[in-house]
């Protein structure tokens, strides 16, 4: 087999096998066991928040957050269109309606268009934001910190406060990202809004295979989400349940893996930074591809790297670029198809989508695994530049 540079794969260099073997040896492999509590406590300490509930996925964390927000059938939730669809699907789980908002140049939700929608398309009635045309209540905002890049939370929180909206941070890609300047200096992604959800999927900066976590402003709310995630058990012996619950709890095996991964997170972030800097050197002055930067005033985990390609200068599509690089052993991917354009959501409201359409058409994600060597990065960059050079529209 020829050379292969993967896009984003898990890294198990620490105590993963030791802790998982320990969990198996203890016989605690399901949704009970000491590693779950240990992971929750260590995550809370890392994030400087009161409490964290470990769950089955970032998606389940978002769903639990929407439940706690009181989102009901027929309500509206303001969401980005430029994101992975898992950030939006939980709105439908509550039989509510997403309203799609454009992105800014960080790829995250545009706070100015968010404000415009609230000002021009809605009105406040007795402290509740109501959509003028439909009469539906707007309850919450889901903000996604895309690729580890913090959204403009100062502006977004101002809009939320003014219009009485709950803020759910989808920090599934941004574990370890925090502000270093401004009103939220020292605050981590996921701990600024009312709720924060994290993902430990296989391609994230740390992984538990599947798995995720959720936090909130107060420990009591997190406790209730933890209760809901374990089928709302009120009496484990007699199987008494006072609320409809969910099978959303993380397993002890996953948590054992997570505890080991969390020990390595600072090192993983340092490697992400070193690798990003190397790519910057390789693409410096390259006219057919520019690395997007991360928001100033923040310290990003730099989970994914985005190459902006001037597609008007390229003969072919992003798919053509990806397939040619795959043949050369370099795994890349396109950014997501916009959600408001997809079949399940075509009938929902989308508000002044412009920049998201542009970025969706020209962003290529390039290899960013923490195991990458300098030689891997050099090879990947050379092949990307070669392919784009060959495809340049003369």
Residue 160, domain member (yes or no): yes
Residue 246, domain member (yes or no): yes
Distance CA 228, CA 211 (A): 16
pLDDT at 149: 98
Residue 277, domain member (yes or no): yes
Q: Are 200 and 138 contained in the same domain?
A: yes
| Partner residues linked to 33 by β-bridges | none
Q: Are 273 and 354 contained in the same domain?
A: yes
Q: Are 127 and 60 contained in the same domain?
A: yes
Q: Are 295 and 220 contained in the same domain?
A: no
Q: Are 322 and 283 contained in the same domain?
A: yes
Q: Are 69 and 171 contained in the same domain?
A: yes
The parent domain of residue 274 ranges over 265-391
Report the domain count for the chain: 2
Residue 73, domain member (yes or no): yes
Residue 316, domain member (yes or no): yes
Q: What is the full per-residue pLDDT of the chain (394 aa) written as tens digits?
A: 589 999 999 999 999 999 999 999 999 899 889 999 999 999 999 999 999 999 999 999 999 999 999 999 999 999 999 999 999 999 999 999 999 999 999 999 999 999 999 999 999 999 999 999 999 999 999 999 999 999 999 999 999 999 999 999 999 999 999 999 999 999 999 999 999 999 999 999 999 999 999 999 999 999 999 999 999 999 888 999 999 999 999 999 999 999 999 999 999 999 999 999 999 999 999 999 999 999 999 999 999 999 999 999 999 999 999 999 999 999 999 999 999 999 999 999 999 999 999 999 999 999 999 999 999 999 999 999 999 999 997 6
Contact assessment for residue 174 and residue 213, using Cβ atoms and an 8 Å cutoff: no
Q: Are 304 and 239 contained in the same domain?
A: no
Q: Which domain CATH number covers 228? A: 3.40.640.10
- DSSP assignment of 133-189: TT-PEEEEEEEE-GGGPPP-HHHHHHHHHHTT-EEEEE-TT-TT-EESSSTTTTPBT
Helix (H, G, I), strand (E, B) or coil at 307: strand
Distance CA 69, CA 73 (A): 13
pLDDT at 1: 53
Task: Give the end of a domain, one of 209, 228, 261.
Answer: 261
Helix (H, G, I), strand (E, B) or coil at 135: coil
Residue 367, domain member (yes or no): yes
Task: Give the end of a domain, one of 222, 242, 261.
Answer: 261
Q: Are 66 and 206 contained in the same domain?
A: yes
Q: Are 374 and 245 contained in the same domain?
A: no
Q: Are 342 and 362 contained in the same domain?
A: yes
Q: Are 168 and 144 contained in the same domain?
A: yes
Residue 293, domain member (yes or no): yes
Q: Are 190 and 297 contained in the same domain?
A: no
pLDDT at 131: 98
Q: Which domain CATH number covers 333? A: 3.90.1150.10
Residue 2, domain member (yes or no): no
């Amino acid at each position: 087999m020829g050379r292969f540079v993967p896009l984003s794969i898990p890294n198990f260099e620490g105590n993963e096998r030791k802790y998982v073997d320990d969990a198996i040896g203890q016989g605690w492999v399901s949704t009970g066991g000491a590693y779950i509590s240990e992971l929750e406590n260590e995550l809370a300490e890392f994030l400087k928040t009161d409490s964290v509930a470990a769950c089955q996925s970032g998606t389940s964390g978002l769903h639990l957050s929407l439940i706690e927000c009181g989102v009901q059938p027929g309500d509206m939730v303001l969401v980005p269109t430029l994101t992975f669809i898992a950030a939006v699907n939980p709105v439908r789980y509550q039989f509510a309606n997403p309203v799609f908002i454009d992105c800014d140049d960080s790829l995250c939700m545009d706070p100015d268009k968010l404000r415009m929608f609230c000002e021009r398309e809605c009105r406040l009635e007795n402290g509740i934001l109501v959509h003028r045309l439909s009469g539906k209540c707007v309850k919450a905002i889901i903000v996604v910190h895309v690729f580890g890049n913090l959204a403009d939370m100062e502006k977004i929180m101002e809009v939320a406060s003014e219009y009485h909206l709950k803020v759910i941070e989808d920090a599934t890609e941004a574990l370890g990202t925090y502000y270093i300047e401004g009103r939220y200096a020292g605050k981590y992604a996921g701990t600024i809004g009312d709720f924060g959800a994290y993902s430990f999927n296989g391609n994230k900066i740390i992984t538990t295979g599947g798995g995720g976590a959720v936090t909130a402003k107060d420990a009591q709310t997190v406790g209730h989400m933890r209760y809901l995630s374990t089928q709302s058990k009120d009496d484990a012996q007699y199987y008494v349940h006072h609320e409809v619950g969910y099978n959303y709890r993380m397993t002890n095996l996953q948590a054992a893996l997570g505890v080991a991964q969390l020990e390595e997170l600072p090192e993983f972030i340092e490697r992400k930074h070193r690798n990003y800097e190397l790519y910057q050197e390789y693409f410096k002055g390259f006219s057919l591809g520019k690395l997007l930067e991360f928001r100033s005033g923040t310290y990003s985990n730099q989970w994914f790297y985005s190459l902006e390609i001037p597609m008007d200068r390229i003969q072919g599509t992003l798919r053509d670029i990806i397939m040619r690089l795959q043949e050369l052993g370099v795994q890349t991917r396109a950014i997501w198809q916009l959600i408001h354009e997809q079949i399940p959501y075509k009938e929902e409201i989308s508000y002044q989508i412009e920049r998201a359409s542009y970025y969706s058409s020209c962003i290529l994600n390039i290899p960013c695994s923490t195991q990458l060597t300098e030689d891997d990065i050099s090879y990947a960059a050379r092949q990307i530049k070669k392919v784009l050079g060959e495809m340049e529209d003369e």
